[in-house]
């Protein structure tokens, strides 16, 4: 006699979660993790400031992007919540009226933590690549690293690994330069 088949997670399962957890549906499984720790939140907030002003608001930069914190992505049967994501306005002229996006972003950023790093790398990155996300950044506030990836035919190519206080001018945001050290809480 086999084990009972687990029922695939559905969107309504996300509404049943307590407020202190983040839920995602990946390959039919409901995955949860706690809200981010302060070091993680600081890195994401600081990166949003570095990129948001020049790319989203066109302040001292080229503009042309929507840069958003924790957007909910509906990509086929997956519901993903990257820490940051960006859409070129030429592909997404207006933000949707829904609480989610069904158009894959042009760029995603995951801020790694011990609770999320395995899923971010092994499960979410392949889904992003399969759905045409062109650029992915992984930020590790504990190791003080930024990994920059570009999608080539559904496969991620590692372009750079930057550490500590390195100068960042990387695709798709190479039009500006900022100090990586500004993301770290210490």
Query: Would you list the domain boundaries of the chain?
Result: 37-183
Q: pLDDT under 50 in the chain at which residues?
A: 1-5
pLDDT at 3: 45
pLDDT at 24: 66
pLDDT at 30: 75
pLDDT at 13: 65
Contact between 167 and 151 (Cβ < 8 Å): no
d(CA 23, CA 13): 9
pLDDT at 1: 43
d(CA 21, CA 33): 6
Question: Which one, of 143, 144, 137, 166, lies nearest residue 48 by Cα?
Answer: 137
pLDDT in tens, 91-126: 999 999 999 999 999 999 999 998 889 999 999 999
> Which option is the CATH number for 37-183: 2.160.10.10, 3.90.1570.10, 3.65.10.10, 1.10.3720.10?
3.90.1570.10
Specify the pTM: 0.87
């Amino acid at each position: 006699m086999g084990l009972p088949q687990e029922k695939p997670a559905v969107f309504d399962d996300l509404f049943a979660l307590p407020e202190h957890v983040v839920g995602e549906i990946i390959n039919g499984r409901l995955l949860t993790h706690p809200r981010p720790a302060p070091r993680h939140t600081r890195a994401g907030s600081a990166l949003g400031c570095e990129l948001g002003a020049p790319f989203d608001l066109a302040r001292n930069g080229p503009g042309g992007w929507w840069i958003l914190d924790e957007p909910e992505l509906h990509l086929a049967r997956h519901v993903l919540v990257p820490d940051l994501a960006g859409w070129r306005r030429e592909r997404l002229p207006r933000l949707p009226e829904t609480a989610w996006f069904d158009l894959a972003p042009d760029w995603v950023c995951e801020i790694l933590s011990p609770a999320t790093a395995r899923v971010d790398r092994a499960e979410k990155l392949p889904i992003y690549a399969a759905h045409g996300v062109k650029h992915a950044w992984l930020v590790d506030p504990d190791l003080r690293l930024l990994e920059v990836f570009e999608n080539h035919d559904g496969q991620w190519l590692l372009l750079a690994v930057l550490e500590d206080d390195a100068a960042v001018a990387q695709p798709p945001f190479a039009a500006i330069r900022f100090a990586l050290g500004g993301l770290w809480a210490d």
